[in-house]
Structure 1
Amino acid sequence: MVLHIAEAFATKYFPTKYAVHIAVSILTILVLRAFSQGRKTNRERDLHARVILLTGGFTPLGLTLLQSLAQRGAHVIALSPEPIESPGVAVLVDLIRTTTSNEEIYAEECDLTSPSSIRAFCTKFLTGKDQRLDAIVFAHEHKHIGVPKLFSKRDSSQDQKERDANSLATFLITTLLLPALLVAPAERDIRIINVVNPFYAAAAGLPFSTSFATTKGEEDDKPVLPQSKSIFFQEGKRSLRTIIFTRHLQRVLDALPHGAQAPKAEEGVSAIPVVSSKLQKSNIVAISASPGIDRADTVSSIFNADFMSPTGSYLGLFLYLVLQPLLRIFTKSPVSAIQTILHVLFLPTPFKILANTTSATQKDPKDKATQQGPLDASVLEMPEEVLLPGALYSNCAAIKLGVKIPEELRDKDRQMRAENAKAKEKSKAKGKGKEDLKEEVLDIEDDGQYGGELAGRLVWEEYEVALKIWEKENPGPVEEDKAKAGAAQATSSDSQNPSSEKESVY
């Protein structure tokens, strides 16, 4: 009976003469969907005993990534702006522990919009018993910020402040935890992964500006560049800034005195692992990863289709639901979006390959003659793909990105370098024959990637300036109490000494 009904339905609505057209249409849709989902990583890695710090772990992308890491046995510390005792956090952590049979999943309270909360967490971590970190994944910057006026009446300046806060949170956590990473054993493979939104190309085509919203007007000598008010450009600017910062962070790591450290050769092996400077210099690798345009964190945020939020848009939610068939085809699911992040976590580094090669030479005692001297990675047969330090990965592949630096900034940099060179020559001439202590300066190589050393240095300096302003505008409870106590003390002092205003203060 059921077969007869199905046959009648198929005969009426799917005539036989259109069977080929229907088959071609279905095949086309499947191909388009497979293409839109992007590549899947062809790598795998055992993450047992690996400690991973994850920000944005309770967003759709973050939860999917958290579950994937837990399934591979990783020890994950997910940061949450809400207290860990809150039902939304505690239930999700227990659920992931149960479904993945991994008890090493933890949540820590850390509000990334508060610099004092970030400092409190980092201080707690650095003063704890176990300071091991194998990877830091900054997934909180992937979520799209900014809604068209059609779906929200929110002031765009608030969106810009939120973008800056997310970027500064990444910078602050990186700089605070970097000392713990630098003292880690040289054979430990450490990765810092910045997950960026997919709109970096919107800003790459225009002259790049390093300024944050909070630093505008701080320096009058900066050239004013034409900027677009488009939310896609603003998001692309944030993404591009993070990419440039990540590349420059790798330059700094490579330039450190202990940067060129390789895994130690095992006992009894005379081959010394040596890595070519073109491949890898530091055991800490900084990477940018773009998951692409996904439904949950990108499209729904653009439509403001959050029915749980009091500021959500009913129109945006309606359009988001109506467009689901197209969104399912042309946008990524969270499972597909995390593939690039997993790829940069799983890819081997030249250091790791050397360590495995050194261990392999130990197993063959007949080749002792070939074990003498250095084992150079540049002459070894590398696998089809190794992780490129400081690179940007999208769709499980490293991509090149051109960044336009305005000529005004380049001219200013040349002038500054010339002045510094003259000052250095004068100081050498004055101090000739004297043994003066010299300030150690890192010799950072200009590789020309993502705007080169100039763009990276300008972005880093802008981060430092914006961080000071951000911390000043968002004092923690301790700073607020100190400020109130100082103000009260000053008021009391003025009331007791009316003539204090006439006295000189040194």
Structure 2
Amino acid sequence: MPVEFAAYVVQKTSWLYTISDAFNTLRTVYTGLAIGITYLLYIFFQGSKNKYEADMHGKVILMTGGTAGIGAAVASDLAGRGAQLILLVRSVSDGWTQDYVTQLREESNNELIYAEECDLEDLSSVRKFATKWIDNTPARRLDQVILCAGVAQPMYAPRRTTGDGVEIHFGLNYLANYSLLNILSPALRAQPSERDVRVIVATCTTYILGALDMSDPEFIRRGYPSSKPWQAFGASKIALMCMVKQLQHSIDQFQRPDKLPSRVKCLLVDPGLARTQSFRRFVSFGTLLGLFLYLLTYPVWFVLVKTAHGAAQSVLFASMAPSADIDEGGVRGGEIYQECMVKQPRRSEIADEGFRKKLWETSGKLVKEVEVRSALARKAADRQT
């Protein structure tokens, strides 16, 4: 009798098992859909891939920012292709830098990787390196200059300055790069006409939010916007983009002694956001609480923000794509590239030749003023010691 009763109960409640199975099936389907959608979002936000391959053996490349983040991913790729890399660093005596160069040589099986001192927070260091480079007859071979170094202060961080006393965004992101390229420009123009020479400079979409005022580029009169640091960061990127466009213009106007056309191309690249140390510091406000929240929401950042390797693709595209006069999908000097495609500037200053020319002239005067001021300060400090 108990057995018969149990069988009766099971028979009458079998519909519960049917519902349970249906729920399990739906849960499996929804889980699969969620994983599939997440994966597709991840692939989408990783951005475009560089489709071009190039043998970089024999090419000489100067590079800033090549020891961390997106720049390190670019350096690793180019080193693996056989390029001779000269990494411009703050100090060549730093043990970490020496270990990094050694490791990069071993991983890429390429001994032609070097570090040279060029501290972007010290214009005298920039001038010392650049003048040493151009002080050579005939001109040293130089195939590419890739500038990836930059700084972005997090929200509510106090105003920082370079060793020369210049606001950190304007000083490091712009003025140091201006000085470096301005001094190196004779070496770029002196390269053989048949050589495909490129200047590749990394920028960022947040230039759109910049507040550039050349009468107050360091936010002294206006006050440093610590609650909106992207205004200062974006301003430095607007200036940088204007400078690169103007450099291309001046190179195009230059008459070579041999009367042959120049093949020097100055390219701007927006690699997009990447999960790098500087990104983590920015979104975490540089605080422990912010870091905790970043780690808590890391799955979101993992899906929506590129890896350093993914962000490096547009830089590698600018480095390896053929010239546009050879391949329609190639590169043209003076253009902005994002996701391996040409993008139009979204700030009027960048397209304004009059503004660019004035910026270039003003920057030259400002560099001289800063260098003189810093030299006098060093002399005064030496007298006191």
Using structure 2 for the length normalisation, give the TM-score. 0.84
Native 8 Å contact 1:134 1:190 kept in 2: yes
Deviations 1:76-109 (A, max 9, x none): 0001112x23320111111111111000011112
Answering whether residue 264 of structure 2 is matched by residue 284 of structure 1, we say: yes
How far, CA to CA, are the matches of 2:90 and 2:284 in structure 1? 21
Alignment-derived partner of residue 494 in structure 1: none
SS in 2 for 1:230: coil
- 1:27: how far off? 1.3
1:131 aligned partner, one-letter code: R
Residue in structure 2 matching 1:404, options 348, 366, 373: 348
Runs (5+) with no aligned partner, structure 2: 1-19
Provide closer, same or farther for how the CA distance between residues 189 and 26 of structure 1 changes in structure 2, counting only shifts above 3 A: same
State the shift of 1:156 in Å.
2.6
Q: CA deviation at 1:24?
A: 1.4
For normalisation by structure 1, the TM-score amounts to 0.65
How far apart are 1:131 and its partner, in Å?
Answer: 1.6
Matching residue of 2:306: 332
Shift of 1:74: 0.3
Query: Match of 1:60?
Result: 69
Query: For residues 315 and 216 of structure 1, do their structure 2 counterparts lie closer, same or farther at Cα, with a shift above 3 Å needed?
Result: closer
Cα shift readout 1:171-219 (whole Å, capped 9, x = no counterpart): 111011111121111111111111112312223xx7x5334535967xx
The aligned amino acid for 1:36 is F
- Secondary structure of 1:49's match? coil
Asked if 1:323 is matched to 2:330, the reply is no
The offset of 1:169, in angstroms, is 0.8
Which secondary structure does the structure 1 equivalent of 2:348 belong to? Answer: coil
Instruction: Give the 3 Å change call, closer, same or farther, for CA 228–317 of structure 1 in structure 2.
Output: closer
Q: Residue 205 of structure 2: SS of its match in structure 1?
A: coil
Verify the 8 A CA contact 1:215 1:469 in the aligned structure 2.
no
Is residue 456 from structure 1 mapped to residue 356 from structure 2 by the alignment? yes
Aligned to 2:339: 395
Q: For residues 16 and 106 of structure 1, what CA distance do their matches in structure 2 show?
A: 59
Letter of the 1:102 counterpart: N
1:428-467 to 2 correspondences below 5 Å: 450-467=350-367
The superposition leaves residues 405-426 of structure 1 with CA deviations (integer Å, 9 ceiling, x where unpaired) of 5xxxxxxxxxxxxxxxxxxxxx
Q: Taking structure 1 as reference, are residues 28 and 259 closer, same or farther at Cα in structure 2, changes over 3 Å only?
A: farther
Q: Give unpaired runs (5+ residues) of structure 1.
A: 1-10, 218-223, 263-280, 306-311, 354-382, 406-449, 488-506
| CA contact 2:208–2:347 (8 Å) conserved in 1 | no
* Partners of 2:197 and 2:263 within 8 A in 1: yes
1:177-192 mapped onto 2 (5 Å cutoff):
177-192=184-199
CA, structure 1 residues 483+345, in 2 after alignment: closer, same or farther (shift >3 Å)? same
Does residue 480 of structure 1 match 2:381?
A: no
Note if contact 1:212-1:462 (Cα within 8 Å) is conserved in structure 2: no
TM-aligned CA distance change 1:341 to 1:131, over 3 Å: same
Question: Which residue of the partner structure matches residue 210 of structure 1?
Answer: 214
- Post-superposition offset of 1:128: 5.3
Call closer, same or farther: CA 1:456–1:228 in 2, change over 3 Å.
farther
Q: Among residues 41, 44, 52, which one is paired with 1:35 in the alignment?
A: 44
Going from structure 1 to structure 2, the CA distance change for 1:350 and 1:326 (only over 3 Å counts) comes to closer
Structure 1 residues 350 and 28 mapped into 2: Cα distance closer, same or farther (>3 Å)? closer
Tell me the percent identity.
Answer: 27
CA distance in 1, matches of 2:38, 2:341: 25
1:342 is paired with a residue of what secondary structure?
helix
Deviation by residue 1:454-491 (Cα, 9 ceiling, x = unmatched): 12112212312321232133228xx8349977x9xxxx
1:263-314 Cα distance to aligned partner (Å, 9 max, x none): xxxxxxxxxxxxxxxxxx6311111111111111553131357xxxxxx521
Q: Which residue is 2:14 aligned to?
A: none
Q: Which residue of 2 aligns with 1:501?
A: none
- When residues 215 and 474 of structure 1 are mapped into structure 2, their CA distance, relative to the original with a 3 A threshold, is farther
Match of 2:122 in 1: 114
What secondary structure sits across from 2:88 in the alignment? strand
User: More displaced, 48-57 or 319-328?
Assistant: 319-328
Q: Which residue of 2 aligns with 1:176?
A: 183
Mapped contact 1:261–1:282 kept (Cα < 8 A): no
Residues 455, 318 of structure 1: alpha-carbon distance in 2 compared, 3 angstrom cutoff:
same
Match of 2:370 in 1: 470
1:292 aligned partner, one-letter code: G
Aligned to 2:245: 247
Asked if residue 98 in structure 1 is aligned to residue 102 in structure 2, the reply is: no
- State the SS of the aligned residue for 1:285: strand
What's the counterpart of residue 281 of structure 2? 301
Distance 1:228 1:110, change over 3 A: closer
Task: Give the corresponding residue for 1:364.
Answer: none
Distance 1:255 1:229, change over 3 A: farther
Structure-to-structure mapping, 1:150-169, within 5 angstroms: 154-156=157-159, 158=161, 161-166=167-172, 167-169=174-176
